[in-house]
Amino acid sequence: MSGARLHRNLKNEIRLVLGRRDDVVIFNNESGVASYGKHTVRYGVGKGGADLLGIALPTGRFVALEVKTGQARCTKQQRMFLELVRRFGGFAEVVRSVDDANDAIDRAREQQTISAT
């Protein structure tokens, strides 16, 4: 299975599991570029934006989860985005499994954070 397919499958599994929780809402951050005649339109939160974005109860804390598979590492832009979220009081973390994502949401709710990898 290709790396892109593994990533997409893991991201979808995480969305399904987190979607069953009643203490967080998670959105898929679709990003890309589209051309309409002479116009080019970029969509998503910007280069480096985390794969999954959401809001956690009880505080309404912004959550950014960057999904990685295998030995993949964050790009410079992804590290900058995660750090920006943290600097403004949000919760940002790299996750490599469904369990990682569940644990991350628990920490987000408890106001804990760890550094990006």
* Per-domain boundaries in the chain: 3-109
* Nearest C-alpha neighbor of 64 from the set 14, 8, 21: 14
pLDDT in tens, 11-66: 999 999 999 999 999 999 988 889 999 999 888 888 899 999 999 999 999 999 99
CATH code given to domain 3-109: 3.40.1350.10
- Residue 78 predicted with pLDDT over 80: yes
| pTM for the whole structure | 0.89
CA 14 centroid distance within chain: 10
